[in-house]
Amino acid sequence: MIGVRALTLRTDEDLALFCSYLAHERIGHRVFEEQGQQVLEVATQTDAERVRADYAAWRGGSLVIEWTGQPPAARRPWRAIARRYPVVASLLALAVVCFPATLPLANGSLGTLLPWLTIVPISGDLNDLHAGTLHSVIMGGQWWRFVTPVFVHFGFVHLAFNAAVVVEFGRRIEQGGGTFAMLLLTATLAIVSNLMQFLTTHAALFGGLSGVAYGLFAYVAVRGRFDRDPIWHVNPAFSVAVLVILVVMTSGVTEIFDVRIANAAHWTGLTLGAAAALAWRPTRKPKQAVA
């Protein structure tokens, strides 16, 4: 239902191209005149915030809308996307940059980058792996290790799947809850899930954004029980499928195929994300409408 005022503008401003862009983006809206002004309304507060941001970007030149004879498509520079979802963009960029770290494993070698990304220092090779301790990490001031395992991925499919989940749920949190909320939640999920995985298994060579991804999913799914904004809605069937897959992976069936899963990180992320949504549900401060 339309009812949230997004923009209030002069009546002589032509919004035809911008409205066509909103239609292309499937953002329901209407435009009408009120007391000598032009008003654009949308269905939800989240849509209103996006419309304001896109309108400002369009007028500022960072969002280019082109008319091609069909509904216009927006050409978004990468920097505009990064400004809108800086935490999500940074997570993906770091994961891509760190992806080559695991390539030497194909030859049984650790390479030079991977030992700097694991939760504790590692040395040797896959057949004779030596791992340090958390005490040595703390005493050596190597605090980054509590986070960096989330950027270690063992194959393109591993990276692509985790990236897709982070984008799907991370953008919702960053858009609906704000950048600080997304940053704090992501850092907490990364640190706690990494520590639990290491303390549970005592294995230093693990990685992936999946612990964070499960946490982001759980946060959105649980928050959707309290917040009526569609941005927090998750299909119940999807939630059930995620839990079933997690239970199956925890059963150890993947080890038959010599595939070892960081289940402790997954369960930790899922639990922590759900708990965070129960205790903390910040909302991005609405921006002032462009007048």
At residue 289, the pLDDT reads: 37
Residues 118 and 63 in one domain: no
pLDDT at 72 exceeding the cut of 80: no
- Indicate whether 291 belongs to any domain: no
- Indicate whether 121 belongs to any domain: yes
At residue 287, the pLDDT reads: 46
262 by Cβ neighbours in 10 Å (0-12 / 13-18 / 19+) ranks as: buried
Single-letter code of the amino acid located at 8: T
pLDDT tens digits, 138-172: 999 999 999 999 999 999 999 999 999 999 999 99
CATH number reported for the structural domain that contains residue 99 in this entry: 1.20.1540.10
Q: d(Cα 145, Cα 261) in Å, to the nearest integer?
A: 20
Residues 73 and 130 in one domain: no
Find out whether 17 and 251 touch, Cβ atoms under 8 Å.
Answer: no
At residue 66, the pLDDT reads: 77
pLDDT tens digits, 165-222: 999 999 999 989 999 999 999 999 999 999 999 999 999 999 999 999 999 999 999 9
Alpha helices in the chain (DSSP H): 16-24, 45-60, 78-84, 86-98, 134-139, 156-176, 179-201, 210-223, 236-250, 263-279
Residues 99 and 75 in one domain: no
Single-letter code of the amino acid located at 242: V
Query: From the centroid of its chain, how far is CA 3?
Result: 29
Consecutive H or E run containing 206: none
pLDDT at 1 exceeding the cut of 60: no
Comparing C-alpha atoms, which of 4, 75, 3, 6 is closest to residue 288?
6
Domain of residue 26, residue span: 4-81
Residues 11 and 108 in one domain: no
CATH number reported for the structural domain that contains residue 75 in this entry: 3.30.70
Number of separate domains in the chain: 2
Tell me how far apart the terminal alpha carbons of the chain are, to the nearest angstrom: 24
At residue 290, the pLDDT reads: 39
Least confident of 66-80, 132-146, 267-281: 66-80
Q: d(Cα 284, Cα 106) in Å, to the nearest integer?
A: 44
Residues 8 and 75 in one domain: yes
Q: CB atoms < 10 A from the CB of 81, how many?
A: 13
Residue count of the chain: 291
Q: d(Cα 63, Cα 76) in Å, to the nearest integer?
A: 6
Q: d(Cα 189, Cα 3) in Å, to the nearest integer?
A: 36
